[in-house]
Each structure stands twice: as C-alpha cells, then as structure tokens.
Amino acid sequence: MINSKALLIGIGIYIITHIMTWFQLNGQFFSEWFKNNNFILALFGIPISLLYIWGTKYCYEGFDGLIWPGRFIGFACGMVVFSLLASYIMGEGITGKTGVSLGLALALVSVQIFWK
C-alpha cells in the first residue's frame, strides 16, 4: 500500500537535493565563485548526503518497505531536474534524445507507482 504523504515528502526532498547537486557540480561552468571555491562546495556534500538519506527513507516508507521503487523515483527526479536546469541555465535545449530519456524516466516512475 502506497503512503502518499511519505512518498510526496521523499520526492520533494529528492528534487531539492538534485537541485543542490546540480549547482554543486555544474556551477563551475557559469560562475567564477563556483570555479574558485571547490573546497567550500565539497563541504556541501554533507547536507546533500543527509538529504539523499532522508529522501530514501521517506520513499522506503512511501512504498511500504520496498527499496527499488524509491531508487527509480530518485533517478527520475534527477533526470528531470538535470534536464530543466541544463536547459534553463546552460541553454542546452531538450533534444529528441533527451526527450526520449525523460519519457523513459516518466515510464519508470509510472510503473513503480501505478503497477500493483
């Protein structure tokens, strides 16, 4: 039985964490501060790790003790966040290949949520 509240919390945490991770890793390509402060950015690994742990915990609870569905949810959130930020901030549009990949990510999540 899916616990919708826990699942939504887990998805929200994953989205926030993937945004933080995207900036931590890719900020160097558009910001001198990010490029020149690698050590400070590395310190953000601690809160990012904690958020990934909490996102996993809530997805685990949301899927009634199963770990695979949460893994696919985390993957799909990362794909969507990455593609949106790469498009908006880096100007890398969503190509056909990226669109198909996003569609597959959506299919993965749909199978985990709706297939009983």
65 has pLDDT over 90: yes
Per-residue pLDDT at 116: 74
**Domain encompassing residue 74:** 4-114
Closest CA to 110 of 73, 75, 74: 73
Alpha-carbon distances of 16 from 50, 62, 83, 93, 94, rounded to whole Å: 12, 18, 14, 22, 21
User: What is the per-residue pLDDT across 69-96, written as a single tens digit (0 to 9) for each?
Assistant: 999 899 989 988 998 999 999 999 888 9
Number of domains in the chain: 1
Give me the phi and psi of 91, to 5 degrees please: 75, 15
| DSSP classification of residue 63 | T
pTM metric for this prediction: 0.88
Closest CA to 105 of 78, 67, 87: 78
Tokens of 106: 């959506």
Closest CA to 22 of 109, 90, 105, 93: 90
